[in-house]
């Protein structure tokens, strides 16, 4: 390397008076670490994790309802009336919370909803004898294992994102898993009306409630936290009569998900080391 050498340039098209293994002083100057770093705040994470807690609480309530039905502690008729009540009040809330406020002849919309819900109601009712005997020949052990796997799948794949954007494939799979879980569980019940009640409730809890949850999520953290609190409370109320041990376990899981997991995530964030540089695949801007 001669002393009066010209400055090194980051080019390949000319021979420079430097050896091939010369490391320039600005080596890796275009390296950027954690360019999009945003430190999390604890309470925003807690508020986001409320969606997970709500979904888990829904699953817990569903399991309790099933056990109540199977042990004949709950009259299926009460459950059906409760479901209808939930549907009407949930739908009203859903309409009221609509922030886009497009009043496009809402009456027709409501009539349409009413018509399709009656259809689903009747279809479920006519299918319930079939569902009751569908997996009757399968042993109960297999049913418990299968429904546990399906509900776990539902919890893992559910869409917990705060933005009510496009519906992802995983959330569709999640919903299907939950409905299948309730279909296989329904075969353990003894009467047709109990099967009908459980199926109706599962559709409320797993297909319709997530839509309502998005609306709640969009409408502020006070609503969000009170909904979470309400769901957790009803989980306790439904479960405590069956087993206080399970109730304790539920409470542990809920408090872990809501309060401890965000703290863990914040602690783990200090290990974040994202490396960016000119070698990354560029993101094309097309508009």
Partner 1 sequence: MQERLSIAMISDFFYPDVGGVENHIYMLSANLIRKGHNVIIITHSHGDRVGIRWLLPGLKVYYLPFLPIASSATLPNFFTSLPYLRTILLREHIHLIHAHASLSSIGHEGILHAHLMGIRTVFTDHSLFGFEDAASILTNKLLASSLKHVDAVICVSHTGRENTVLRGQLYERSDKDPTTLAVRKNVYVIPNALVAEQFKPHPPRVSETITIVILSRLAYRKGIDLLIATAPRICAAFPNVHFVIGGDGPKLIELLQMREKHRLQDRIELLGSVRHEDVSSVLARGSIFMNTSLTESFGIAILEAACAGLYVVSTRVGGVPEILPKDLISFANPDADDIFRAISEAIQIVSAGQHDPYRAHERIKRFYDWGQVATRTEAVYDGVIKSRQIELWERIRRTMELGPFAGPIYTIILIVDCLFFLFLEWWAPRQDIDYVTHEFRQEEFRKCMKEVELGEPTCLGEVIDQSAVMTVPELLKVVNTQ
Beta carbons of 39 and 269 less than 8 angstroms apart? yes
> What is residue 32's three-state secondary structure?
strand
**Residue 268 contacts partner 1 per CB under 8 A:** no
- Pick from 1, 2, 7, 14: which binds partner 1 (CB under 8 A)? 14
Q: Which is nearer to partner 1, 2 or 100 (CB)?
A: 2
Footprint on residues 163-202 left by partner 1 (CB under 8 A): none
Nearer to partner 1, 35 or 140 (CB): 35
Which window, 54-62, 129-137, 214-222, 277-285, contacts partner 1 (CB under 8 A)?
277-285
Angle 169-186/42-70 helices, nearest 10 degrees? 20
Q: Is 177 helix (H, G, I), strand (E, B) or coil?
A: helix
Give the span between the Cα atoms of 108 and 168, in whole angstroms.
Answer: 28
Beta bridge partner(s), residue 32: 276
Give the separation between CA 271 and CA 269, rounded to whole angstroms. 5
Any contact of residue 274 with partner 1 (CB under 8 A)?
Answer: yes
Judged by CB under 8 A, which stretch of 140-148, 180-188, 233-241, 275-283 contacts partner 1?
A: 275-283
Interface pick for partner 1 out of 1, 28, 104, 222 (rule CB under 8 A): 28
Site membership for partner 1, residue 35 (CB under 8 A): no
The nearer residue to partner 1, 88 or 275, going by C-beta atoms, is 275
Q: Does 6 bind partner 1 (CB under 8 A)?
A: no
Q: Does the protein bind partner 1 through residue 38 (CB under 8 A)? A: no
| 1: contact with partner 1 by CB under 8 A | no
Cβ 153 vs Cβ 174: under 8 Å: yes
Return the axis-axis angle of helices 106-134 and 192-202, rounded to nearest 10°. Answer: 130
Residue 25 binds partner 1, judged by CB under 8 A: no
Least gap, CB of 287 to partner 1 (angstroms): 7
Residue 17 engages partner 1 in binding (rule: CB under 8 A): no
Hey, how many other C-beta atoms are within 10 angstroms of the C-beta on 81? Answer: 12
For position 284 contacting partner 1 by CB under 8 A, the verdict is yes
Contact with partner 1 (CB under 8 A): which of 1, 2, 7, 10? 10
Using CB under 8 A, count the residues that bind partner 1: 26
* CA 13 distance to own-chain centroid: 54
Q: Exposed (0-12), middle (13-18) or buried (19+): which is 38, by Cβ within 10 Å?
A: exposed
Contact 195, 131 (CB under 8 A): yes
Is 243 among the residues that bind partner 1 (CB under 8 A)? no
Binding residue (CB under 8 A) for partner 1 from 1, 3, 12, 96: 12
Determine if 106 is a binding residue for partner 1 (CB under 8 A). no
C-alpha to C-alpha distance for 286 and 190, rounded to whole angstroms? 59
Which DSSP string corresponds to 103-128? Answer: -SSHHHHHHHHHHHHHHHHHHHHHHH
Q: Which residues bind partner 1 (CB under 8 A)?
A: 10-15, 20-21, 23, 27-28, 30-31, 274-275, 277-287
């Amino acid at each position: 390397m001669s002393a009066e050498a010209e400055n090194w340039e980051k080019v390949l098209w000319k021979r420079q008076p430097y050896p091939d293994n010369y490391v320039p002083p600005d080596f890796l100057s275009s390296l950027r670490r954690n360019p999009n770093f945003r430190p999390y705040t604890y309470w925003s994470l807690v508020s986001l994790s409320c969606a997970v807690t709500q979904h888990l609480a829904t699953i817990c309530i569903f399991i309790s309802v099933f056990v109540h039905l199977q042990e004949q502690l709950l009259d299926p008729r009460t459950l059906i009336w409760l479901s209808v009540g939930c549907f009407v009040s949930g739908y009203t809330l859903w309409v009221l919370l609509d922030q886009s406020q497009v009043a496009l002849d809402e009456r027709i919309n409501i009539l349409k909803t009413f018509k399709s819900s009656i259809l689903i109601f009747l279809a479920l009712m006519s299918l319930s004898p079939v569902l009751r005997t569908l997996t009757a020949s399968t042993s109960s052990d297999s049913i418990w294992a299968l429904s546990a796997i399906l509900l776990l799948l539902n919890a893992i794949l559910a869409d917990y994102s705060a933005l009510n954007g496009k519906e992802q494939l995983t959330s569709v799979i999640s919903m299907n898993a939950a409905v299948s879980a309730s279909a296989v569980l329904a075969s353990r019940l003894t009467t047709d009306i109990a099967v009908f009640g459980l199926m109706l409730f599962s559709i409320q809890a797993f297909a319709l409630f997530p839509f309502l949850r998005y609306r709640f999520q969009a409408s502020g953290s006070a609503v969000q936290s009170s909904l979470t609190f309400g769901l957790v409370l009803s989980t306790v109320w439904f479960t405590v009569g069956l087993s206080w041990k399970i109730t304790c376990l539920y409470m542990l899981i809920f408090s872990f998900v809501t309060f401890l997991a965000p703290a863990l995530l914040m602690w783990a964030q200090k290990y974040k080391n994202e490396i960016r540089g000119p070698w990354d695949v560029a993101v094309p801007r097309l508009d």
